[in-house]
Structure 1
């Protein structure tokens, strides 16, 4: 089980996009809120990311920034957002001294995994901190591919953008290893419990069964799991079952009884009731809305 891959797959609702842009001496671009996550890579020059709330973040060449919750923000050559124009109105300056990549991931906020929800408003990976060979290689390849227009470029870009998202989240998890979800993924017993629930969400899990499988008492598992993830084991299982079901409704044509069975519900009625309680709509309506 790879929880991070599961978390990203569960929320994806479309293909990522990216643009490469050169800017002159004075520039200021505004990014409106959107359903997903955004990223910026400063290839050359320097600048600032100014969140809607919080202090401006200085950026240097090679820095990468993830805006995981799609909140509004500004990129600027100075530490203020005065005179910002929409990024969509940006004009390329071929001789500009600043060059950056900007992109978006289309992700469902309604199905956001708690490990993604725990990310801060801005994840800043400075070049000297995020110097792993994998991350730097992905950035170099992405920067070259965005403007290449070579055969197969669309497929290559989608894969590189997915890699970049994973590497950025990994960087944050590694730098916050002793708190919350990052700690949960490093705790052998809790990680094993999460793996079991993800691998077999349809199983008739009881807290005592899960505790026995990971070698803890019921009380210890419940206390440690809840402290690190913010959810009790059974509450997390319910959330994961219904989130998995939402993905199946969006991406497949399986009938409701089959989906109910795949996520551990004995009847379509019980499944529909639980699904509506979490998502606010019946499964059939959710399926229609996700494809409109």
Structure 2
């Protein structure tokens, strides 16, 4: 018995669709090969394959939950990160709490230039503890050293010791550009020095080792007035170890300067004098401007 040509065509299409669905289902059962089969199907066949795929995902999820047990639902919790921890431990840079004075300060006596021997004798057995830059990066950590030097000049006058106050027979390697010495509360020796000269930031503060745990609070209390202090004119010698050159550095009342000078012009034991005319010209020169 012969069938009409349309009947053969219909049977062929049904057989092809059934074959495609069977191959897709077989691929799903064999480990996720449904996507290539689905890519070759269109229309009703594609939607049928997609339904088989979604149902398989649900079945796998139900089986996993049965094996592992039901997971309890909890509200979302904030997981601490290193940044959050730092913010919790250390106040923000602009936070007043980061720089609030906390050390009981009753008396501050700056040590003058001619009192150095007295200071050395009185505190000869002192074991020192040092504090440089702190993790909070406060005003005293980030402000350029020349600015702090100019404000120290306005607050406390001339430094206790500078490079000009010691013999200059050898290059002053490792020696500070300036040093301010103090006696705090009648018995605590404190020193404030630069770390890298006019090219650095902040200052180094040293005190008796017994106050090591309070050194940060001592520094913040002692130097807190510098934040609101003006800049006073001054001049120091500075020796650049890398370039092996001497400089005059300071503030002339209008701008900061860093001007090369000859070693022959330096008289040991005699501090430099501020010449506002020369320093203003030097500070305006690109070759000698501050870094």
Superposed pair shares fold, TM > 0.5: no
**Structure possessing the higher relative contact order (Cα contacts under 8 Å, 6 or more residues apart):** 1
- Structure number, greater radius of gyration: 2
TM-score, normalisation: structure 1 = 0.20
Q: TM-score, normalised by structure 2?
A: 0.20
